[in-house]
Amino acid sequence: MIKVTFVEANGNRIEAMAKAGDTLMQAAVGAGVAAIAAECGGACACGTCHCVLSEDWFSRVPAPASDEADMLDFVIDPQPTSRLSCQVVIGEDMQGIEVQVPDSQI
C-alpha cells in the first residue's frame, strides 16, 4: 500500500492508503477528503477533484493529457502544478506523496 497525505486548505492532514493503479481521487474519496467532491466520478469532466502537487511530485508524474489541461483552465485559481486528482494514477514510486487541496475546493 502507498501512503498519500492530503493537506486541506486549513492545514488539516488526512492520510490515505492506496493501491498502485488507484487514482489520487479514489484515495481522497476513500479517505473522506470532503473537498475532493469528484462529481463526475473520475471522467475528467468537472474539475471538482482539483489538487495541487509540489513541483517535485509534479515533475515525477506523467504530464496532463490535453483533456485534463483543458479542464484545468476552468478550475478556480489554477496553479502551475495543478492537476485533476482523477487523472493522476498512483504508482509504487509515489510512497509518501503529499497533495494540497486548494481552498477554492471548499
Query: d(Cα 12, Cα 35) in Å, to the nearest integer?
Result: 12
Note the pLDDT tens digit of each residue in 85-102: 999 999 999 999 999 999
For the entire predicted model, the pTM comes to: 0.95
Distance (Å) of CA 89 to CA 10, 23, 60, 104: 25, 4, 12, 23
Query: d(Cα 33, Cα 28) in Å, to the nearest integer?
Result: 5
Domain span holding position 22: 2-105
- CATH assignment of the domain containing 12: 3.10.20.30
Note the pLDDT tens digit of each residue in 32-53: 999 999 999 999 999 999 999 9
Question: What's the domain count of the chain?
Answer: 1
